[in-house]
Amino acid sequence: AQSVAQPEDQVNVAEGNPLTVKCTYSVSGNPYLFWYVQYPNRGLQFLLKYITGDNLVKGSYGFEAEFNKSQTSFHLKKPSALVSDSALYFCAVRDGGYNKLIFGAGTRLAVHP
């Protein structure tokens, strides 16, 4: 079965510093990977996805993610964090052919001024 793991419950970073939110995956076949962000009292918002091609995927709000097949990782990154980036981040993998998503437990990002 497909799965993703987010090893950190919380990541703390100072505003202006680079940030990384980690995700590892376990799939049979080619992985279809996603990152979503959830702000308080709001639904999940799509950030980016990896299907195939370039290992560095660029997404919304200046985020990018690096796909690493040998390490089975798909870490979310941003060169310079903003306080407004503080939110809950979910990594997800598509399971099967019907677009079903399996989500990780989430990582809370706290960006301090």
Partner 1 sequence: EAGVAQSPRYKIIEKRQSVAFWCNPISGHATLYWYQQILGQGPKLLIQFQNNGVVDDSQLPKDRFSAERLKGVDSTLKIQPAKLEDSAVYLCASSLKTARVGFAYEQYFGPGTRLTVT
Q: Which residues bind partner 1 (CB under 8 A)?
A: 32, 34, 36, 41-46, 49, 51-52, 90, 92, 94, 96-101, 103-106
Query: If you ran DSSP here, which 8-state letter would residue 83 be given?
Result: G
Question: Closer CB to partner 1, residue 13 or residue 106?
Answer: 106
CA atoms within 13 A on the CB side of 94: 13
Minimum CB–partner distance for residue 90 and partner 1 (Å): 5
DSSP assignment of 61-86: GG-EEEEETTTTEEEEEESS--GGG-
Question: Closer CB to partner 1, residue 98 or residue 113?
Answer: 98
Minimum CB–partner distance for residue 102 and partner 1 (Å): 8
Question: Closer CB to partner 1, residue 16 or residue 69?
Answer: 69
Query: Kind of pairing, strands 87-95 and 24-26?
Result: unpaired
